Structure 1
Amino acid sequence: MRFTSYNSTMSFTWTPHRFVGGALAFDIANSVILRHLPERRLDRLADPANLAALPQAASAHSAERASFGVLHPLSPQDAPQLLALREAIDRYFRARAEGREDDRLLADLLEEIAGAIRRDPAKGDLIASTARSALMLISSPAADRTKVCGHCGWLFIDRSKNRSRLWCDMAICGNREKASRHYAARRGKPAGDDTEEKP
């Protein structure tokens, strides 16, 4: 399966906000910033330093960290497989969240999952752990709570009681969206024109 490469960006810090997807699979899918805006899209994993720091950060911040434990470092040679898995995760779950579930996308994802899980029968491999996360999510009730953030476009699991959550992170995207609407109302422009890169 081919993967898509996006524009790279300068190094940054993997903060807890980068792991708000609710599942490791979504945290990895969300490593593309502003995916829905091609002219501003950024791939955090295009920078080898970010790729190298990701396993340690996921071990510390991902919602599923207790299930996969401490993850080992990746090498630049691992990037193509991780990116192919990432894109398959995003395509399938984004379509599912938007009511466009497609068996072909599921087949593509399962193919990537199979190859990734073969890497590491035990725990400790980021790619295999991401694949297991996606596999568990496919048949989990949580998959039906998958949403796309109304501000940044990230995937997340809405665990709110009435499924009313609109943003991946209220403190970041929720506040930015409200500020955007307020600013747009004052200037008479459509909201969302000032979408910013994630901090």
Structure 2
Amino acid sequence: MSFSWTPHRFSGGALALDVANSVILRHDELRRIDRFDAPGQLESFPKAAQNFCAERTLFGDIRPVPLENKAAFVELREAIDRYFRARILGAEGDGLLADLLDALSKTLRQATALNGLDRATVRSTLRLLAMPDEDRMKICGNCGWLFIDRSKNRSRAWCDMAVCGNRAKASRHYRRKKEGSSP
């Protein structure tokens, strides 16, 4: 399957969340798609991140993760998702934090390039762990992706209004129309 990295794919607000969001329909086993399993996607992600990620100015030129480090990087991605998803839902546990810290340290030990995606993701994750307004981190009501709500009144419900917001509104409109036309 072929994908292109678009601005929507970087709507998490932090590189670590964009990495976690590289799994589409994460909790639907039948339709789940891991973008990093598709040929060339892990290698093309850093360039797209440099163009679209909210933290792009912090990391500069990001190099791809070497293929021999892919397993540790994917393990880090999954630990990021588990920990921050639980934190958002209020179910944060010491075990999840320990798993995340273990994945962070394993990734750092294996990282070879100082400006690699793996190191940049570790730095982004540490920034998220120290984030003072943790209630700004949310889960998209449409696709389930993680994102930071930077709106003034903290009312953002979707990772990307142009995609998920429009889909949710269109779905509501369709349901209302359908209910209105039923006898």
Work out whether the TM-score is over 0.5: yes
Question: Could you tell me which amino acid in structure 2 is paired with residue 187 of structure 1?
Answer: K
Percent identical: 57
Partner of 2:171: 180
- Report whether the alignment pairs 1:130 with 2:121: yes
Partner of 1:149: 140
Q: Contact 1:113–1:132 (CA<8 Å) still a contact in 2?
A: no
Q: Considering Cα pairs closer than 8 Å and 6+ residues apart, tell me whether 1 or 2 has the greater RCO.
A: 2
Partner of 1:81: 72
Could you report, residue by residue, the CA deviation over 1:76-98 in whole angstroms, capped at 9, with x for unpaired residues? 32321111000000000001111
Q: Contact 1:21–1:157 (CA<8 Å) still a contact in 2?
A: yes
Secondary structure of 1:12's counterpart equals coil
Could you report, residue by residue, the CA deviation over 1:47-67 in whole angstroms, capped at 9, with x for unpaired residues? 131111011111221111111
Q: Contact 1:118–1:128 (CA<8 Å) still a contact in 2?
A: no
- After TM superposition, the structure 1 stretch with the greater mean CA deviation from structure 2, 73-82 or 22-31, is 73-82
CA distance in 2, matches of 1:82, 1:157: 22
Partner of 2:53: 62
CA distance in 1, matches of 2:109, 2:149: 30
CA distance in 1, matches of 2:37, 2:65: 13
Q: Contact 1:142–1:157 (CA<8 Å) still a contact in 2?
A: no
CA distance in 2, matches of 1:123, 1:24: 16
Could you report, residue by residue, the CA deviation over 1:138-159 in whole angstroms, capped at 9, with x for unpaired residues? 1212433110000000000011
More helix by share: 2
CA distance in 1, matches of 2:170, 2:27: 20
RMSD between superposed Cα atoms in Å: 1.5
Tell me the TM-score normalised to structure 1 length.
Answer: 0.85
Secondary structure of 1:93's counterpart equals helix
CA radius of gyration, larger in: 2
Q: How does 1:1-199 map to 2 (within 5 A)?
A: 10-120=1-111, 123-188=114-179
CA distance in 1, matches of 2:136, 2:112: 29
CA distance 1:181–1:144, shift in 2 (3 Å): same
Segments of 5+ residues of structure 1 without an aligned counterpart are 1-9, 189-199
Q: CA deviation at 1:166?
A: 0.1
CA distance 1:96–1:119, shift in 2 (3 Å): same
Q: CA deviation at 1:121?
A: 8.2
Question: Could you tell me which amino acid in structure 1 is paired with residue 141 of structure 2?
Answer: G
Aligned residue pairs total 179
